[in-house]
Structures are given as structure tokens and as C-alpha cells.
Amino acid sequence: MGKKSILDPCGGKADILRKRLRAVGEPEDRFKEDPLRLLRAVRLANELNFKVDEGTLKTITLMSDMLESVSQERIRDEILKILMSRKPSWGFNLMFRTNLLKQILPELLEGYLKRQNAHHRYTIYKHIMETINQVQAKPVLRLTALLHDIAKPRVREKVRGQWRFLGHEKASADMAREIMERLRFSKEIIGRVTNLITHHMVWYDSDWSDGAVRRLIRRVSPENMDDLISFRRADILARGLRDEKLDFISELEKRAGELTKYQITVKARDLAIDGNRVMEILGLSPGPEVGKILNKLLEKVTDHPELNTEEGLMDLLKSSL
């Protein structure tokens, strides 16, 4: 056999050595063939830590509006790959420079150069970028980081000289749902991300009773508690300031871990008796009163898990709770 040789008609070897990403031939032709390549170029440069060739970069910017013709599912997959990279903020900042972000997530641009308050060193957009870099590389957590403050620019108002963002967690969860539905994420992923965003502003302190910690776990759900704590820690770190709340988050993590070693009664159906038994004991007919009683039992059991036995709940019912 003859000596093997590598054919390199487009100068790929030189590009690799220079860590440069360049379209083959005329960039405009390549992007017309498949406009998703506009976004894929950013994703590959981000993953490989390559610089995009100036000519290619200029063409991406000029043709960015062609991304409108690409299916949301394909765009979603590229965004997820960028989010799961070592430093996703690099990719998002490149999307910003090339106008691709305006096509994909215009809501994110609303926080650009928007200052916050004394609790934050960075603007809204910069804080989001820091958070996606800080948080663990799991799709649910990176998506939560990307969207957790998405509504802050819309609820932002100045109160006594300080910027306030009242209710931004609920507003951000609602916006996150709209954005993720637009990008065709699954209902399961949307549910988990919006749940974490809704509860991400948890303000724990050492005075919380075990019942209060259980109520938080109940609201978030035991399977999401680790993710909430992991995200909250990254969110606080991404403020760019030393914050004693990190110590409280570590304490909450320890207490939640201890409490979740034992079964936590999350819903009324987890009680040792059901609605039929309640009606039988109290002589009630079917109706909303039965549900109210079950919820009261659930609250009692949250504070005193040892009461969740048939005998314990019957005693509570007979004593009128």
C-alpha cells in the first residue's frame, strides 16, 4: 500500500491549529443551505473554545433573521447544547453580538444593562450569565438559571431610591413557561423548571421549625429539593458579593437531608385515612368540607409526622382537630 495522505482542500488543518471556526467557501451559501448553521456555528465555537472567523461572524450577523425559518425544536436542541457547555455565557454573549439572541430569546435582552440593587454587583443580564456558569451542568438547573430572573425588567420599580423586583419569581415562572412552550420543551421539563423558579427565592433562617422545612419540601416536592438548594447556592454566588445567606443554604441542605430520610406526607392521599373514612367517622356527606378536613389533617401531620396512623388521625378527628 502507498503512503497515506490527508486531503485538505479547504485549509481545515490550519484553522484547527489557529483555533478558528470558518465556513467552507462562501459563508452566505452555507447558511442559506441550512439557516440552523448560524446558531450551530456559535455552539461549536463555544464547545471547542474556537474564535469565529471575522468573515463568517459578519455573515452570521447579517443573516441572523433567517433563523426564523428554523423549527423551534432544532433551535431548542442547540440552545441546550450551549447551556450544557463548560462556560455557556460565552455562547450567549456571542449570540448577543450576532443578533441571534434577539431572534431566539428577545426577553433575555430586556435585562441588558439594567442595574439591580445593593444585593447585586451585576446587571440583570450579567447576573443571569454568571448563574448559568455557576450552577451544576444539568439541563433542568441550567434552564432554571437562564430563566429564573427573566421577568425582572418587567416588574422593576424604584422604591425609596432602591430598585425592587416584587413578585419577580412568579412572573419569571410564567414567562419561562411561555418561552419553553415556544421552544417545544416537554411538559415534564417545563413543570420542573417553573417549580424551581417559583420557589427560588426561599429565605431560610435557623428559626424555622421542622414543620416549616417540611412545608417547603412539600411545596417543592422531595425529588426537587436537592435541585432547589443547588440552584439557590449558585444564584447567591452569582450576585458577585460575599453573602451570609450561603451559610443558611448549607444549613437548610443539612436539615432537609435529615428530614427526607423519612417519608414526608406531601399530599392528602398520603394520609393513613381517606375521605371515605373521614365521612364515616364524622357522619358527613360528600362535599368540599371533606377536602378541607383532609387538608387540616395534612397540616397536623406536617408538624407531627408520628400522627399519620389510622389511630392517630381518628383521634384528631374525634377531638375536632
pLDDT under 50: residue ranges of the chain: none
Tell me, what's the pLDDT at 167?
93
**What residue ranges define each of the domains in the chain, with the CATH number in brackets?**
12-104 (1.10.3090.10), 109-259 (no CATH), 268-318 (no CATH)
Tell me, what's the pLDDT at 127?
97
CA atoms of 14 and 72, how far apart (whole Å): 34
Tell me, what's the pLDDT at 265?
80
CA atoms of 256 and 226, how far apart (whole Å): 9
CA atoms of 290 and 15, how far apart (whole Å): 71
Using CA atoms, how far residue 92 sits from 3, 98, 126, in Å, is 45, 10, 11
Largest pairwise CA distance in the chain: 94
Instruction: Burial-class residue 208 by CB neighbours within 10 Å (0-12, 13-18, 19+).
Output: middle
Tell me, what's the pLDDT at 2?
60
Tell me, what's the pLDDT at 160?
86
Tell me, what's the pLDDT at 182?
98
Using CA atoms, how far residue 96 sits from 49, 61, 274, 294, 299, in Å, is 17, 10, 55, 51, 48
CA atoms within 13 A on the CB side of 259: 29
Helix ranges (H only) for the chain are: 12-17, 27-33, 36-48, 54-62, 72-83, 88-97, 100-104, 106-109, 124-134, 139-147, 152-155, 168-182, 187-199, 210-220, 225-237, 245-259, 275-282, 288-303, 310-318
CA atoms of 264 and 228, how far apart (whole Å): 17
